[in-house]
Structure 1
Amino acid sequence: MEEIKKFIDQIYPISSSDWAFFSSKLHKQELDKHSTLIKVGMIENYLSFISKGIVRFYIPQEDNELTFGFLFENQFVTAYDSFITQTPSEYQIETLTNTTLWQISFKDLQEVYDKTESGNVIGRRMAENMFLIKSKREIALLNKTAEERYLDLFSERPKLLQQIPLKYIASYIGVTPQALSRIRKRIT
């Protein structure tokens, strides 16, 4: 749980009383590789901190799946649009490795916002950070080639390429696995 405190303190220093209240609402969840966190049509009820592991965001389709995000250790994961609106998710989230999460429910997070000094500031800054990540991805999809997106991914997350199946990486950068193979041959 100490890694969550360090992460939050980087966003905005949290008082010991606010931390005590927030951390009392967290519960630990251990998940196996390929466990589903949320399915299409479910309402997201948890904001989770990844203590260990990798998760993938994707849209299931008949022919293939469209991967549109990965999250790693020391990051928060949630189907955020479903979480804040309490409406059904339009995508799924699964673990790609054995994963350890610390979770807080929607109801408990609302209580943290209401009863702590720092809760709203931290929540706002986390939402702003999620927006920036989403915007960066959208701009890259519109302005960069698949090869540039692959190189960006490689430079930002070198471990990613060793731990995530190439079919998911291909989907994430918007190409077929065969096209990704050609890109990889070209740049090595």
Structure 2
Amino acid sequence: MEEIKKFIATICPMNDSDWDLFSSKLYKEKFKKKSTLIEIGGIEGHMSFLSKGIVRYYIPQEESDLTFGFLFENQFVTAYDSFITQTPSQYEIETLTSSTLWRISFKDLQEVYEKTKSGNIIGRRMAENMFLIKSKREISLLNKTAEERYLDLFLERPKLLKQVPLKYIASYIGVTPQALSRIRKRIT
């Protein structure tokens, strides 16, 4: 739990009483590789902190999934739109490696928001960060070529390219695995 406390302190330090309330609501859960965290149609019941592992966000399709996000250690994981509206998710989240998450339920997080000042600040900053990531990706998809998106990914998140299967990376940048292979050959 120390890793989540350090991470949260970088967003907004919590006083001892706020931390005690927040940490009392957290529980640790371990998942095997390829575990589904939420399915299409499920209602997201948790905000999770990924202390170990990699997860991907995707829309399953018959021929190949549409991957639209990856998260690594020290990031929050949730189907956030489903979580805040408590409506069915339009996508799935799965672990790509064995993963450890610290989780808090929707109900318990609402209590933390109601009873702590720092909880609200952290929640707002986390939501703002998620928006910025989503906005950057959308702009990239609209304004850049697949090769530029791949190079950006390589520069910004080299860990991703070493730990995630290429078929998911291809889907993430919006190309087929074969097109990604051609891009990789051109730039090496």
Compute the TM-score of the two structures, normalised by the length of structure 2. Answer: 0.99
- Once the two structures are superposed, what CA deviation does each residue of 1:43-92 show, in whole Å capped at 9, x if it has no partner? 00000000000000000111210000000000000000000000000000
For 2:29 and 2:154, locate their aligned partners in 1 and report how far apart those are by CA, in whole Å: 29
Matched, 1:47 2:85: no
Matched, 1:57 2:50: no
Give the corresponding residue for 1:138. Answer: 138
Secondary structure of the 2:81 match is: helix
The Cα of 1:13 is off from its aligned counterpart by 1.2
Amino acid at match of 2:61: Q
For 1:122 and 1:164, locate their aligned partners in 2 and report how far apart those are by CA, in whole Å: 29
Give the corresponding residue for 1:111. Answer: 111
Give the corresponding residue for 1:23. Answer: 23
Secondary structure of the 1:40 match is: coil
For 1:150 and 1:156, locate their aligned partners in 2 and report how far apart those are by CA, in whole Å: 10
Give the corresponding residue for 1:69. Answer: 69
Give the corresponding residue for 1:34. Answer: 34
Give the corresponding residue for 1:128. Answer: 128
Amino acid at match of 1:183: I
Amino acid at match of 1:77: V
Give the corresponding residue for 1:165. Answer: 165
Secondary structure of the 2:8 match is: helix
Q: How does 1:74-85 map to 2 (within 5 A)?
A: 74-85=74-85
The Cα of 1:116 is off from its aligned counterpart by 1.0
Flag structure 2 segments of 5+ consecutive residues without an equivalent. none
* Cα root mean square deviation, aligned: 0.6
For 1:46 and 1:149, locate their aligned partners in 2 and report how far apart those are by CA, in whole Å: 31
Amino acid at match of 1:48: S
Q: How does 1:87-98 map to 2 (within 5 A)?
A: 87-98=87-98
Compute the TM-score of the two structures, normalised by the length of structure 1. Answer: 0.99
The Cα of 1:139 is off from its aligned counterpart by 0.4
- Higher mean alpha-carbon deviation, 4-13 vs 34-43, is at 4-13
Amino acid at match of 1:112: V
Amino acid at match of 1:148: E
The Cα of 1:160 is off from its aligned counterpart by 1.0
For 2:117 and 2:132, locate their aligned partners in 1 and report how far apart those are by CA, in whole Å: 25
Amino acid at match of 2:179: A
The Cα of 1:159 is off from its aligned counterpart by 1.5
Secondary structure of the 1:83 match is: helix
Amino acid at match of 1:175: V
- Once the two structures are superposed, what CA deviation does each residue of 1:162-187 show, in whole Å capped at 9, x if it has no partner? 11100000000000000000000000
Give the corresponding residue for 1:6. Answer: 6
